[in-house]
């Protein structure tokens, strides 16, 4: 970094450091105390509680572009983006305008609308595996429904998932799950009877040998395999060469349904999702996050013959009063329109920013003599504080020094960077990050690494 831009950024960063030393979070602390009296743990989703990183959570008042402003007026460069959906940043004017216009027409009808047909057509056009799609209200609902459909279609009961992959909190999917289960160090989830997970088989992610061995023995009894094509819920863990292709091969041979959980990766890694980027087409796909434009919306879809088993056409029942909600659909349509217009240049920019940040993080860690593995794929990345040479599965991810990660996280937070408050969650980059913000983030992370030596 050199020249006038470098001088301006360094000066602004010093100012931010001095400001962060006086950062006051009294309002957040007061709100958290109130919340704990009426909400379990004071939060409506466990990772938000900051249990894994220490301290009290920050309560957010509003978002502006790539930035968050908390209840005390502190500003943070946001590397979470509401856990993935805000690929165009907070409060994008076109999304806000579209939602406001729809609000004047009504919030929900419990009846079909032209909007949901339009969104369904856009999804079918974009995602290679989807010929028909059903809209729902969350990623959990999408994955739960997709597996029910796969079981109904095949007439089989056994399902296969992978260690560290998180597919929502349906009972039968919480076996060796990532995300908050990994963050909180829970061995299993209380309240889930053993019988419910009896037909859930869990394999190590990226283990092609174990995959082939399982299908050689039990392939004809397996209804489906569900996988995050790029994992985001034990941190960012991309597939090794040949893994997704092996999944496609064994499921075709056994006539099992291959489900890509693209709740995180759909419309993020490319407009057609991870399947378009890797060139591997599953039988079914689940979507969420970006497809809802920041509103609660999910979707599951796939081959016509599979989706025609869903009621009212077929015998597999799934329903939802708020499915295809016009507010969420409107936000999703506005988001997808922005991404279409951005085209390949937008995704190239996301890749470039992700690569730059990953390289800068690695260099900063080396300079501070802090052992890390930085995994990055497109606009998803994770800094694993581990002495492993690589992180390609759940076992390697769990070797991370979570206390050192927590120290690094707090150093970033106190310098105005809002990073995921868990070693086992991916960071998500937005397409609106400027070069100046990338430099600011890199330099702040560098100081955070240096602080770990003290």
Count of CA atoms in the C-beta half-sphere (13 A) of 308: 4
User: Is 449's pLDDT higher than 90?
Assistant: yes
pLDDT digits (tens, 9 = 90+) for 219-257: 999 999 999 999 999 999 999 999 999 999 999 999 999
CA distance 318 to 47: 29
pLDDT digits (tens, 9 = 90+) for 284-333: 999 999 999 999 999 999 999 999 999 999 999 999 999 999 999 999 99
Q: Which residues contact 343 (CB under 8 A, 6 or more apart)?
A: none
How much is the pTM?
A: 0.91
Instruction: Write out the DSSP string of 184-218.
Output: TT-SS-TT--GGGGTTEEEE-TT-HHHHHHHHHHH
Kindly state the average pLDDT of the residues 275-289. 98
Percent of the chain's residues with pLDDT above 70: 92
pLDDT digits (tens, 9 = 90+) for 109-154: 999 999 999 999 999 999 999 999 999 999 999 999 999 999 999 9
pLDDT at 6: 37
CA distance 165 to 316: 25
pLDDT digits (tens, 9 = 90+) for 150-195: 999 999 999 999 999 999 987 778 765 555 454 444 446 677 777 7
> What H or E segment, with its residue span, contains residue 136?
strand 132-136
C-alpha 346: how far from its chain's center? 19
> What H or E segment, with its residue span, contains residue 160?
strand 158-162
Percent of the chain's residues with pLDDT above 90: 87
- Say if CB 317 and CB 344 are below 8 A apart: no
Assigned CATH topology for domain 93-337: 3.40.640
Q: Which residues contact 355 (CB under 8 A, 6 or more apart)?
A: 376
pLDDT digits (tens, 9 = 90+) for 61-104: 999 999 999 999 999 999 999 999 999 999 999 999 999 999 99
**373-377 and 380-384 strand pairing:** antiparallel
pLDDT at 186: 43
User: Is 368's pLDDT higher than 80?
Assistant: yes
pLDDT at 197: 80
Does the structural domain 3-91+343-451 have CATH classification 3.90.1150.10?
Answer: yes
Q: What are the tokens at 365?
A: 């860690």
CA distance 84 to 68: 15
pLDDT bracket for residue 454 (50, 70, 90): low
CA distance 320 to 297: 11
User: Is 44's pLDDT higher than 70?
Assistant: yes
pLDDT at 451: 95
Average pLDDT, the chain: 92
Flag the least confident range among 15-24, 272-281, 368-377, 438-447.
15-24
Q: What are the tokens at 6?
A: 């470098």
pLDDT at 194: 76
Kindly state the average pLDDT of the residues 388-393. 98
Q: Where are the domains of the chain?
A: 3-91+343-451, 93-337
Buried b (16+ CB within 10 A) or exposed e, 68-103: bebbbebbbbbbbbebbbbbbbbebeebeebbeebe
Residue recorded with tokens 């100012």: 15
pLDDT at 23: 85
Kindly state the average pLDDT of the residues 430-441. 97
Our CA angle for 429, 433, 436, nearest 5°, is: 130
pLDDT at 126: 98
C-alpha 313: how far from its chain's center? 32
pLDDT at 13: 39
Catalytically active residues are: 166, 261, 289
């Amino acid at each position: 970094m050199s020249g006038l831009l470098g001088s301006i950024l360094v000066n602004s960063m010093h100012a931010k450091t001095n400001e962060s030393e006086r950062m006051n979070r009294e309002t957040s602390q007061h709100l958290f105390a109130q919340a704990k009296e009426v909400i379990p743990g004071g939060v409506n989703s466990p990772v938000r509680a900051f249990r894994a990183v220490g301290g009290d959570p920050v309560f957010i008042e509003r978002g502006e572009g790539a930035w968050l402003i908390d209840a005390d007026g502190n500003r943070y460069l946001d590397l979470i983006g509401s856990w993935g959906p805000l690929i165009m940043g907070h409060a994008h004017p076109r999304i806000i305008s579209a939602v406001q216009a729809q609000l004047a027409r009504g919030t929900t009808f419990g009846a079909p609308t032209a909007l949901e047909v339009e969104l369904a057509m856009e999804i079918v056009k974009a995602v290679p595996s989807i010929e028909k799609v059903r809209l729902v209200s969350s990623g959990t609902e999408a994955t739960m429904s997709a597996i029910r459909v796969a079981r109904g279609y095949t007439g089989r009961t056994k399902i296969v998932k992978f260690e560290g992959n998180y597919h929502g909190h349906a009972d039968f999917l919480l076996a060796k799950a990532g995300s908050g289960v990994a963050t909180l160090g829970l061995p299993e989830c209380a309240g889930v009877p053993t019988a419910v997970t009896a037909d859930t088989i869990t394999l190590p992610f990226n283990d092609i040998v174990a995959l082939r061995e399982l299908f050689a023995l039990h392939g004809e009894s397996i209804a489906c395999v569900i996988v995050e094509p790029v994992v985001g819920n034990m941190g960012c863990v991309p597939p090794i060469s040949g893994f997704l292709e092996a999944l496609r091969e064994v499921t075709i041979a056994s006539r099992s349904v291959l489900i890509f959980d693209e709740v995180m990766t759909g419309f993020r890694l490319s407009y057609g999702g991870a399947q378009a980027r890797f060139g591997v087409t599953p039988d079914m796909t689940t979507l969420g996050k970006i497809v809802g434009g920041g509103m609660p919306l999910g979707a599951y879809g796939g081959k016509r013959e599979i989706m025609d088993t869903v009621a009212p056409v077929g015998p597999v029942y799934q329903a939802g009063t708020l499915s295809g909600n016009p507010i969420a659909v409107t936000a999703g349509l506005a988001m997808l329109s922005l991404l279409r217009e951005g085209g390949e240049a937008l995704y190239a920019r996301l890749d470039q920013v992700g690569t730059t940040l990953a390289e800068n993080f690695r260099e900063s860690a080396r300079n501070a003599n802090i052992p890390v593995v930085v995994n990055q794929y497109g606009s998803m990345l994770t800094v694993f504080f581990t002495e492993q040479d690589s992180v390609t599965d759940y076992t390697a991810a769990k070797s991370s020094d979570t206390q050192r990660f927590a120290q690094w996280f707090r150093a970033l937070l106190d310098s105005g960077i809002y990073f995921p408050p868990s070693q086992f969650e991916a960071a998500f980059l937005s397409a609106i990050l400027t070069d100046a913000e990338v430099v600011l983030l890199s330099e702040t992370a560098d100081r955070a690494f240096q602080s770990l030596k003290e």
